[in-house]
Amino acid sequence: MHLPDILASIITKTENFVRNELEGEGSGHDWWHIHRVRNTALMLAEKEAADLFVVELAALLHDIADHKFHNGDDTVGPKVAGEWLEGLSVEAEIIKHVQEIIRDLSFKGAKVATPMRTIEGKVVQDADRLDAIGAIGIARAFAYGGHKNRELYNPEKSPTQHTSFDAYKNDAGPTVNHFYEKLFLLKDRMNTETGKSIAQERHEYMKAYIDRFNAEWDGKA
């Protein structure tokens, strides 16, 4: 499906902007994460008959200024994305929608609901979450942990089921805990049927990996 030239040019400019900002980033939030999320989001959007322009813009801009790299401030991302899109004279309604998606997208703790209002938001959230699990999800989690100087695993520190975004954000526990605090929970928090079925397979792969990790830790493999 082809977008009219004006929309295609907004996408290309946005892609170049994001690529330039995130190229070479070392915590698993680099350009190639955005590239994968965009492709997955567009695939889900076609199936769900969502607005492709909004989905593509939100996928491209969703990590442009993530709270994890701005002292937990989750207002910077929507602000930067909004200013960028205003500069391209994108319609105000579309800008608002993209900002809302970026604002609501993130995981905020095991016991914190993160509902998306629109189908466009639901598919971008599913796409972002699919990139957090499976083989790539494992790689990203340890990359992030290294970037933040976290331990791989520490049997003396148990995972927490966070009840608030603040508690979740401020936890600096070992990376293996993140599997129990977020990654293993994602398969039950997918919005779309296609997302659910891909998540199930990636979940099982990740589970097998952590079982093996534990077996090696205990000297049983």
Which one among 99, 175, 191, 194 touches ligand ADP, defined by CB under 6 A? Answer: 175
- Is 132 a binder of ligand ADP (CB under 6 A)? yes
Question: Smaller CB distance to ligand ADP: residue 97 or 129?
Answer: 129
Residues 101-130 that bind Ni ion (CB under 5 A): 128
Cβ 57 vs Cβ 85: under 8 Å: yes
Which one among 82, 109, 134, 145 touches ligand ADP, defined by CB under 6 A? Answer: 145
Residue indicated by tokens 């993160």: 114
How far, in whole angstroms, is CA 75 from its chain's centroid?
Answer: 16
Which one among 77, 128, 190, 199 touches ligand ADP, defined by CB under 6 A? Answer: 128
Cβ 27 vs Cβ 118: under 8 Å: no
Q: Please tell me the distance from the alpha carbon of residue 17 to that of residue 61, in angstroms, as a whole number.
A: 9
How many Å is the maximal CA-CA distance in the chain? 60
Shortest Cβ distance from residue 60 to Ni ion (Å)?
11
What's the length of the chain? 221
CA-nearest of 64, 177, 196, 77 to 130 is 196
- Is 107 a binder of ligand ADP (CB under 6 A)? yes
Question: Smaller CB distance to ligand ADP: residue 140 or 187?
Answer: 140
Question: Smaller CB distance to Ni ion: residue 74 or 128?
Answer: 128
52 binds, among ligand ADP, Ni ion, none (CB under 5 to 8 A by kind): none
- Is 74 a binder of Ni ion (CB under 5 A)? no
- In Å, what is the CA distance from 38 to each residue of 132, 216, 219? 14, 36, 41
Instruction: Say what the alpha-carbon torsion angle 114, 128, 189, 180 is, to the nearest 10 degrees.
Output: -100
Binding-site residue total for Ni ion (CB under 5 A)? 2
Shortest Cβ distance from residue 200 to Ni ion (Å)?
20
Q: Please tell me the distance from the alpha carbon of residue 62 to that of residue 76, in angstroms, as a whole number.
A: 11
Which one among 178, 187, 202, 203 touches ligand ADP, defined by CB under 6 A? Answer: 178
Q: Please tell me the distance from the alpha carbon of residue 84 to that of residue 78, in angstroms, as a whole number.
A: 10
Q: Please tell me the distance from the alpha carbon of residue 202 to that of residue 119, in angstroms, as a whole number.
A: 23
Question: Smaller CB distance to ligand ADP: residue 7 or 159?
Answer: 159
Residues 42-81 that bind ligand ADP (CB under 6 A): 63, 66
User: Which residues form the interface with Ni ion (CB under 5 A)?
Assistant: 63, 128
Which residues sit at the interface with ligand ADP, rule CB under 6 A?
A: 28-29, 63, 66, 105-107, 128, 132, 140-141, 144-145, 175, 178
